[in-house]
Amino acid sequence: MKTYKDYEAINLSINGETRKVIIKHSDTLLRVLREKLGLTGGKPGCENGDCGACTILLDGKPVKSCMMLAIEAIDKNITTIEGLSNTEIQKAFVEYGGFQCGYCTSGFLLNAYALLETHPDADDDTIKEWLQSNLCRCTGYEGISKAIKTAQKKKAGI
């Protein structure tokens, strides 16, 4: 088993690019993305796994990047909001008011994107189960809900 010392250079695969970065073994993935790589789309809303503002995708699955170490992401494909472009869910968030202040938005978008990729025909209960891991204080979730349902239909070609 490979061990990592105090500071070490590692390679991370982020949004399709390989990025070399010097980290401390105890650095969380969120902090490395934000502070070492300038990918500030994920937010430290609580750094306790409660709010979901730091959500990223790890091999396509939503993960709270404040709750894992950067070294755990080696050899995995990381997707941050900066790597998501012009998707149906992003367009729908704009059209239906899926955000106000924008602070929780990256996390919600990535979670919702992964949900629709994993369960294109997700019903209300499935959507709820997935999205309950993220908090939004501005929208009352109305715009987010409309946006997800619209993106779901668009993806299904309806």
Partner 1 sequence: MDQYKVIGKSPPRKDSKDKVKGKVKYVNDINTVGMLHTALKTSPHAHAKIISIDIAEAMEKPGVRKVITGEDIPYIVGLYLGDKYPLALGKVRHYGEAVAAVIADSEREALEALDAIKISYEELSPVRSIEEAMNEDAALVHEELDTYQHIDGIYPEGDSNVANRTKIRKGDIDLGFEESDFIIEDTFSYPQGDHVALETRAAIAEIKEDGQVIITSTSQAPFVVRSLMSSFFNIEPGKITVTAPPLGGGFGGKAGIQLEGLAYLLSKAVEGKPVKVVNTREQDMMASPGRIGFEGKVKLGCKKDGEIMAMKLHYMFDTGAYADYSVNISRAAAIACTGPYNVPHLTCDSLCVYTNHPFTNAYRGFGHLELAFAIERALDVMADKLGMDSAELRKKNAIKAGDTSPTNSVMDENTGDLSKCIDRVKELIQWEEGTYIPLGENKVRAKGMGCLWKAPAMPTNTDAGAILTFNEDGSINLNCSIVEIGQGTGTGLAQILAEKFKMDLEKIHIVTDINTRVAPHDWATAASRSLFMAGRAVMEAAEDALTQIKETAAAVLRCPSEDLDVAEERVFIKDEPHIGLDLKDVVLGYVYENGNAIRGQIIGRGRYIARRITGIDKETGEGKPALEWTLGAEAVEVELDLKDYSYKILKSACVMDVGKVIHPDLARGQVVGAMSMGLSLATDEAYVFNSRGQVLNNDLRSFKIMRYGEMPEYLVDFVETPQGDGPYGARGLGEQGIIGIPAAVINALSKAMGMQLKELPLTPENLWRARKEENTI
* Contact residues for partner 1, defined by CB under 8 A: 24, 34-35, 39-51, 53, 80-82, 84-85, 90, 93-95, 97-106, 109, 124, 127-128, 131-132, 134-145
Judged by beta carbon, residue 74 or residue 94, the one nearer partner 1 is 94
Shortest Å distance, C-beta 59 to partner 1:
20
Judged by beta carbon, residue 1 or residue 123, the one nearer partner 1 is 123
d(CA 155, CA 112): 13
Taking alpha carbons only, the member of 43, 32, 15 closest to residue 105 is: 43
Shortest Å distance, C-beta 1 to partner 1:
25
* Phi, then psi, of 124 in degrees rounded to 5: -55, -40
Hey, what amino acid is at 157?
A: G
d(CA 95, CA 101): 15
d(CA 78, CA 56): 7
Judged by beta carbon, residue 60 or residue 140, the one nearer partner 1 is 140
Cβ atoms within 10 Å, residue 120: 10
Judged by beta carbon, residue 28 or residue 73, the one nearer partner 1 is 28
Shortest Å distance, C-beta 11 to partner 1:
22
